Amino acid sequence: MTDFSLLGEAAYVVFYILYFSLIFSIALVIILDNRNPVKTMAWILVLFFLPVVGLVFYFFFGRSTRKERLISRKGYSRLRKRPMAEFQAQLSLPVSKDQHILMGFFRRTCNALTFEGNALAIHTDGASMLLDLIREVSKARHHIHLEFYIFENDATGRLLRDILIDKAREGVKIRVLYDDVGCWKVDRAFYEQMLFEGIDAQSFLKVRFPQFTSKVNYRNHRKIVVIDGKVGFIGGMNIADRYIKGTSWGPWRDTHVKLSGKAVYGLQTAFLTDWYVVDRTLLTGEVYYPKMREKGTVVAQIVTSDPVGEWREMMQGIMMAISSARKYFYVQTPYLLPTEQILTALQTAALAGIDVRIMIPKKADTWLTHKGSFSYLDMLMKAGVRIYLYRKGFLHSKLMVSDDRWSTVGSTNMDFRSFEHNFEANAFFYDKETALALKNIFLEDQKKCMFLVPKMWAARSWSNRFTESVVRLLAPLL
């Protein structure tokens, strides 16, 4: 009996030595990866205080893939050949020096080209966006490219799917790209029906064992549509009923834009790059980049960011934009979990006397991230940032505008996940007319908000403060 007890104790000792050696080794790998120090500390804390949960979460969500190459330089150069020729044929763009610096940053870090002469239509509700999308899809003659984080099997999803099937039967080539994690709950038969009808529907970075742990954390959050290479859509809306009907506590407020003009080349390049990642087919023909005349007066640049590049393009660009603000900087975001750099930039701008306003939903669709968002409000308000809580439903809009001369709409949230882990896409606009239009949308939404008074916020319960602070420790991992 004693021998068995000693054997059991020895087994326990060996197990714990191996177990904690594994944790220590992973912690060492995280440290040597030279990540954001805040993120590094968050992972180490999770590993040591919740070792079993920490190990599982690290293998699923923690490993970095920044050094991977999804597409070769040669292949990407072929994709950009025609847009680059059109870009170089332009005369000097009518923008300020500060705008040129931001444009140049995006061009150097993510090869984003800027085009003038675009037309823009702004949608602030799902119904109008869907109707406009259906209208443009019905006009397609050669190809339709759709890329969404969520393409749901519900009334809205089936409506669009059936319209796409009709176009496929007319001979229009249709490619659909959806995120594998974003559409986990969607029955595969929904997409198989598209495939059966000749629509090429594929998921982005399929999450399957044994590759599961290397892909689940890097998701394609982009919302892009390109029709015949001439018209495109980009913004925050996916294809699902809730974007039309809203939530149980009110309407769904979002922002999406339709673009006509050469800026669509940027949307096309983003889509075809992602398509190459999943299909390994490089589509570079002239039919995907047709010749276009000027459609309007909007100066636009399509900016993409991803977790596998050398730079954090979107985060760094937004930092530059905040720092260059001279009068005001307005932000709408459903999730406010800013990196230390963005947080400091917002505080610095407010302390310098810039009118910085941030609008987030009063009630959100995700309890954990919403609690984390609330933990940042104290220090923002102390610096002079004005906080507005949107009360009429759920605010899912990702909108920024500054100084009546710069604005952006897209898929990027003001959080770690968008800046560090997701494949994102935003349209940046460098003209007064668009900036004023988006500013007015922000100010109209402000009427439906509760202005957060610092004294009132400071009076919230101790339990709320504690919960928010605990969740904030996990902010870099959410």
State the catalytic residue, choosing from 403, 415, 431, 445. Answer: 403
State the catalytic residue, choosing from 145, 230, 370, 396. Answer: 396
Structure tokens of 263? 């800026």
Give the Cα separation of 407 and 369 in Å (integer): 25
- Asked about 230 being catalytic, the answer comes back as no
Structure tokens of 200? 């090429």
Residue 43, CA distances (Å) to 35, 57, 118, 161, 341 in order: 11, 9, 45, 41, 19
Number of residues written out for the chain: 478
**E strands, 97-235, in order:** 114-123, 143-148, 173-179, 200-204, 224-227, 231-235
- CA-wise closest residue to 398 among 222, 245, 241: 222
β-strand pairing of 394-395 with 252-253: parallel
Contact 398/412 with Cβ under 8 angstroms? yes
- Asked about 256 being catalytic, the answer comes back as no
Give the Cα separation of 142 and 174 in Å (integer): 9
- Asked about 258 being catalytic, the answer comes back as no
State the catalytic residue, choosing from 223, 230, 295, 439. Answer: 223
- Asked about 223 being catalytic, the answer comes back as yes
Structure tokens of 424? 């994102």
Helix or strand holding residue 153 (H, E): none
- Asked about 33 being catalytic, the answer comes back as no
Contact 321/402 with Cβ under 8 angstroms? yes
Contact 137/176 with Cβ under 8 angstroms? no
- Per-residue b or e along 193-231, where b marks 16 or more CB atoms closer than 10 Å to that residue's CB: bbeebebbbbbbbebeeeeebbbbbbbbbbbbbbbbbbb
What number of other Cβ atoms are within 10 A of residue 281's Cβ? 10
Contact 384/360 with Cβ under 8 angstroms? no
State the catalytic residue, choosing from 179, 180, 228, 274. Answer: 228
- Report DSSP state, residue 211: T
Structure tokens of 283? 């589509």
Beta-carbon contacts of 95 under 8 Å, excluding residues fewer than 6 positions away, are 103, 299, 405, 430, 431
State the catalytic residue, choosing from 145, 167, 371, 398. Answer: 398
Structure tokens of 400? 């920024």
- Asked about 125 being catalytic, the answer comes back as no
Active-site positions read 221, 223, 228, 396, 398, 403
